[in-house]
Amino acid sequence: MAYQTFRQEYLQVPPVTRAYTTACVLTTAAVQLELITPFQLYFNPELIFKHFQIWRLITNYLFFGPVGFNFLFNMIFLYRYCRMLEEGSFRGRTADFVFMFLFGGLLMTLFGLFVNLVFLGQAFTIMLVYVWSRRNPYVRMNFFGLLIFQAPFLPWVLMGFSLLLGNSIIVDLLGIAVGHIYFFLEDVFPNQPGGGRLLRTPSVLKAMFDTPEDDPNYNPLPEERPGGFAWGEGQRLGG
């Protein structure tokens, strides 16, 4: 019974959020079980481009460190804001959401060539938080019951929290920078005088991820109906 409930809840998670968070959890589990090591996952341009270890372009976004407070904190934020984006401003636009992932990942990888970061998953989470916060500017946030503020301040509050924990804020700044670039190109620049859409989701992604909506006025031929012809009946099966 518990398995069925979990399965139903799991399948209700939108597909991109489900795929990414599952990949992160499985990667961390594999490291904990010592099936793989972080040294096989981290971002290393020399190993990627000279030794063709291409998988590192993806795996460095999937590992958030060993299971502990930092891992749980990042996974909660990743799941929450990735899902709210996918079910909110990207609802019915899976291809556009995947394109945002690819665009953000590409930018972070390029910036990663110039900063000393070996895992970019946390920065990617901050990017998702930033885009959500800018698209929901009037939502009031409560951070651990200590601070109450408007949503656009959330990425900066998280950066301050990282600073208090003694972590490098380069990760947060990278996520904020990439998130702002995407938000500006997608939401701000097209609405400026003389502006326009510079980011366009490739048609191949739309063909892969966006299923066309059913036409409510479409009346299929008998052979196209579920179950074939409705023998001996005057209405479609299931009608």
Asked if residue 229 belongs to a domain, the reply is no
What is the rounded CA–CA span in Å between residue 55 and residue 43?
9
Asked if residue 213 belongs to a domain, the reply is no
- Residues 73, 133, 83, 195: is their CA dihedral positive or negative? negative
Q: What global pTM score does this model have? A: 0.84
Asked if residue 120 belongs to a domain, the reply is yes
Domain span including residue 83: 15-190+198-205
> So what's the pLDDT on residue 212?
57
Asked if residue 7 belongs to a domain, the reply is no
Asked if residue 218 belongs to a domain, the reply is no
User: The domain spanning residue 78 has which CATH number?
Assistant: 1.20.1540.10
Angle at which helix 94-112 crosses helix 69-87, to 10 degrees, equals 140
The residues near 239 (Cβ < 8 Å, ≥ 6 apart) are none
pLDDT in tens, the chain (239 residues): 667 788 888 889 999 999 999 999 999 999 999 999 999 999 999 999 999 999 999 999 999 988 888 899 899 999 999 999 999 999 999 999 999 999 999 999 999 888 888 999 999 999 999 999 999 999 998 877 778 889 999 999 999 888 887 778 899 999 999 999 999 999 999 988 887 888 999 999 999 987 655 445 544 444 334 333 333 334 333 43
Give the count of domains, the chain: 1
> So what's the pLDDT on residue 218?
42
> So what's the pLDDT on residue 8?
86
Asked if residue 33 belongs to a domain, the reply is yes
Asked if residue 233 belongs to a domain, the reply is no
> So what's the pLDDT on residue 85?
96
> pLDDT by residue (tens digit) across 57-88?
999 999 998 888 889 989 999 999 999 999 99
Amino acid code (one letter) for 225 = R
Asked if residue 146 belongs to a domain, the reply is yes
